[in-house]
Structure 1
Amino acid sequence: MKKILLIDDDELITMSLEMIINAEEGFEVIGKGNSGREGVKLYDELQPDLLLMDIRMADMNGLEAAEEILSKHKDAIILFLTTFSDDEYIVKALKLGVRGYLLKQDYKSLPAALHAAMDGQSVFGGAIVDKLPALMNSATEEDSGFDYQSKDISEKEYEVIQLVAEGYSNKEIAQKLFLSEGTVRNYLSTILEKLELRDRTQLAIFYLKN
């Protein structure tokens, strides 16, 4: 049974989420809070398997709470569930290293998202996925300072990473780098293995964070 901690300042939403989660096999809500500060305290006390938290809250917002929790619990699995899809929030959340960012209007996909997060996948709502290429492109226009050589990444592999982060498909990357699609797929597999990542979404997030 996976233990879930809920943090949201709307009591009605918290009650609804608790019903949805407890109805899903393998999950149980073990604690609830209504502020980021309470989220930090309850996380330390309850040690949940996953924290589902809102962002805009009084006392301490979700981003601040997540940063404090992750500073003490490096492997914490945190999902944001919020009404707001602000670019600034999304970028901050990704840089913190949270496992996902969902919108409350997508609540029907929550059970599947919980399972995916516990399986090590990064989870994003449809509206957030649509924003990622533009956010990644914006990040590549700035100097990220990513030391690819320290990760044993070649210059060509780094070019592939940048293009993945900008939202290009394997076919488009092949055309831009004058490679075959098969070679691009091989590069991508090697990159994911070197960086210990699961898929191209995690790779794009890794690039943005670094």
Structure 2
Amino acid sequence: MTLRVVVADDQALVRTGFRMIIDARDDLEVVGEASDGREAVRLTRELRPDVVLMDVRMPVLDGIEATREIVARGSEARVLVLTTWDVDAHVVAALRAGASGFLLKDIRPAELVDAIRLTARGDALLAPSVTRRVLDRFLRTAPDLRPPPDLERLSGREREVLTLIGQALSNAEIARRLDLSEATVKNHVTGVLRKLGLRDRVQAVVAAYDHGLVRPRDP
């Protein structure tokens, strides 16, 4: 199966470079290019890609708001945010908007391809531990514009699992902490994501922070 990709960046040379890398793979195809966020939203709706590479800073509509619109419209496309900075407050805003991870624009071609494949499978590109470090550093400077999902939908056990996900624990570590099997933990994680309408584990970490289940650690 060929994975369909939309590249959104206001620099034509950047879009061309990513297209050349992606189209060189048999299982990947760039199906559209957008030069601003509004166009990215439109192309995602019309072309239904598997993954959108989204630049943060674009005219008309920036990448964060474009990501928010794509997610709000119920698109199944996964968004990978492109940035020139290692981590900054925009990354937190993008994660809160529903992005599945972020990439540096100077990423190596092989790493870019692997990131697209991983994200398209529904796996979070960022390890929860990386997400937690980003949130610890920038949470207070990137306020969320949406209310967090309602935790009343969760059982007591699911709430415990969400808290431990927010602490960057793996399923195996959660299983040991709660004296459960990994299969049971996996079912609880699936239930948390479904009940809260979260796209992946990265979004679960963000939700745990936004609800105060996990507090930012001191630098």
Quick check: TM above 0.5? yes
User: 1:80 maps to which residue?
Assistant: 81
Which runs of 5 or more structure 1 residues have no equivalent in the other structure?
175-179
Distance 1:37 1:203, change over 3 A: closer
Equivalent of 1:121 in 123, 136, 139: 123
Paired with 2:78 and 2:100, the residues of 1 have a C-alpha distance of 6
Q: Residues 94 and 209 of structure 1 are in contact (CA less than 8 Å); yes or no, is this contact kept in structure 2? A: no
- 1:183 aligns to 2:179 (yes or no): yes
User: 1:51 maps to which residue?
Assistant: 52
Paired with 2:172 and 2:29, the residues of 1 have a C-alpha distance of 43
How many residues in Structure 1 have an aligned counterpart in Structure 2? 199
Note the aligned Cα RMSD (angstroms).
Answer: 3.7
Q: CA deviation at 1:34?
A: 1.3
User: 2:135 maps to which residue?
Assistant: 135
Is the partner of 1:57 in helix, strand or coil?
coil
The structure with more helix, counted as a fraction of residues: 1
Q: Report the residue type matching 2:121 in the other structure.
A: D
**Residues 89-117 of structure 1: CA distance to partner in whole angstroms, max 9, x if unpaired?**
22222222222211123233111111111
User: 1:195 maps to which residue?
Assistant: 192
Q: What's the % identity of the aligned pairs?
A: 31
TM-score by length of 2: 0.71
Q: Residues 3 and 50 of structure 1 are in contact (CA less than 8 Å); yes or no, is this contact kept in structure 2? A: yes
Distance 1:184 1:165, change over 3 A: farther
Distance 1:66 1:130, change over 3 A: closer
Is the partner of 1:122 in helix, strand or coil?
coil
TM-score by length of 1: 0.74
User: Greater CA radius of gyration, 1 or 2?
Assistant: 1
Which runs of 5 or more structure 2 residues have no equivalent in the other structure?
212-219
Paired with 1:43 and 1:70, the residues of 2 have a C-alpha distance of 10
User: 1:104 maps to which residue?
Assistant: 105
Which deviates more from structure 2 when the two are superposed, residues 111-120 or residues 61-70? 61-70
Q: Residues 170 and 181 of structure 1 are in contact (CA less than 8 Å); yes or no, is this contact kept in structure 2? A: no
Paired with 2:30 and 2:70, the residues of 1 have a C-alpha distance of 19
Q: CA deviation at 1:12?
A: 1.5
Paired with 1:115 and 1:171, the residues of 2 have a C-alpha distance of 24
Q: CA deviation at 1:119?
A: 0.7
Paired with 2:167 and 2:28, the residues of 1 have a C-alpha distance of 36
Q: Residues 21 and 27 of structure 1 are in contact (CA less than 8 Å); yes or no, is this contact kept in structure 2? A: yes
- 1:69 aligns to 2:65 (yes or no): no
Q: Residues 100 and 200 of structure 2 are in contact (CA less than 8 Å); yes or no, is this contact kept in structure 1? A: no
Distance 1:172 1:138, change over 3 A: farther
Paired with 2:10 and 2:192, the residues of 1 have a C-alpha distance of 37
Is the partner of 2:179 in helix, strand or coil?
helix
Distance 1:105 1:61, change over 3 A: same
